[in-house]
Amino acid sequence: MSDGKALIATACQLADTARAITLGHFRRRDLATENKAGQGFDPVTQADREAEEAMRAILAERRPADAVLGEELGHSPGSSGLTWVLDPIDGTRAFISGAPSWGVLIAVDSGEGPVLGVIDQPWTGERFLGGFGEAWTERCGRREGLATRRCATLGDAVLYTTYPHIGSPAELAGFNKVRDRVRLTRYGLDCYAYALLAAGHVDLVIEAGLQRYDIAAPQAVIEAAGGVVSDWRGRPAHLGGRVLAAGDPACHAQALEILSKVPEAGTD
């Protein structure tokens, strides 16, 4: 894509803007929180909305022909064939709890999947970017290359997922079969687990019930760093649902062999 550098520059501007806004609200005891869910708890804060509004304003000025899909403000059509996929705070539960595992997710989708992704963690000052031949992490002005690590055997893998009780009973059972094979399983971290996978510290992330804005940016970053991201059948994962991310293709294949046996929703 000829304007890859321009897209990277815009993505970094969006991340800078969202970082300043979200940090202004983080760990404030007077932070107002609303529940978006009819049942259960799906929080949203003023920080979520302000950050997405600010990113959309930049895109309206710099990329007016591009479409935008955001968690809080929905879909705005475009004519260029590109869609910016925004999650202003991935991990709002962590955000309102004062835990620094949340992040800002920014992706560019070509229509066939994400070609650029940014995972930005404002509190630690870390940024992870992948796309257009680039894969790097930056903190305090120091930039280093991103590369997943080799882990050819499932028994040597470090596995993350956000929730201990992942998805449906069938999905949980499938996840547990992988969990029982790996060296170490940890829970939480939201999008930060995907960043750690891209940086070579984690080998697998397995999730279910994701939305498009949850996975587009992590997928682009991980793939640029040499990893593999698919659904539990080995198909494209960028639209959400069940996701299997791995740093090593061999480890991905072994986990996929287990997860592919989990019935699809609505089937026996």
Domain range 4-145, its CATH number among 3.40.50.1370, 3.40.50.150, 3.30.540.10, 3.20.20.70: 3.30.540.10
Q: What is the pTM of this model?
A: 0.95
pLDDT at residue 267 above 70? Answer: no
Which H/E stretch holds residue 18? helix 4-25
CATH class, 154-259 region: alpha beta
What proportions of the chain, in percent to the nearest 5, are helix, strand and coil? Answer: 35, 30, 40
Going from the C-alpha of 74 to that of each of 50, 104, 165, the distances in angstroms are: 14, 16, 28
How far are the Cα atoms of 83, 89, 90 from residue 70, in angstroms, in the given order?
10, 11, 11
* The dihedral formed by the CA atoms of 193, 201, 19 and 213, expressed in degrees to the nearest 10: -40
* pLDDT single digits (tens) 133-184: 999 999 999 999 999 999 999 999 999 999 888 999 999 999 999 999 999 9
Which of 106, 135, 113 lies closest to 11, judged by CA? 106
| Domain regions of the chain by residue span | 4-145, 154-259
Run of H or E including 96: helix 92-97
**From CA 146, how far away is CA 136, in angstroms rounded?**
5
- CA quadruple 158, 228, 104, 11: dihedral positive or negative? positive
Q: Give the tens place of pLDDT for each residue, 189-203.
A: 999 999 999 999 999
Burial (CB < 10 A; 0-12, 13-18, 19+), residue 86, is buried
Angstrom CA distances, 158 to 35, 47, 119, 151, stand at 33, 32, 20, 9
Cα–Cα distance, 66 to 193 (Å, whole number)? 29
Predicted local distance difference test score (pLDDT) of residue 109: 97
Question: 197, 247 in Cβ contact below 8 A?
Answer: yes
User: Rounded to the nearest 5°, which phi and psi values hold at 27?
Assistant: 60, 25
CA-based nearest residue to 101, from 184, 24, 192, 165: 192
Q: What digits encode the pLDDT tens for the residues 92-128? A: 999 999 999 999 999 999 999 999 999 999 999 999 9
The whole-angstrom separation of Cα 31 and Cα 252 is 40
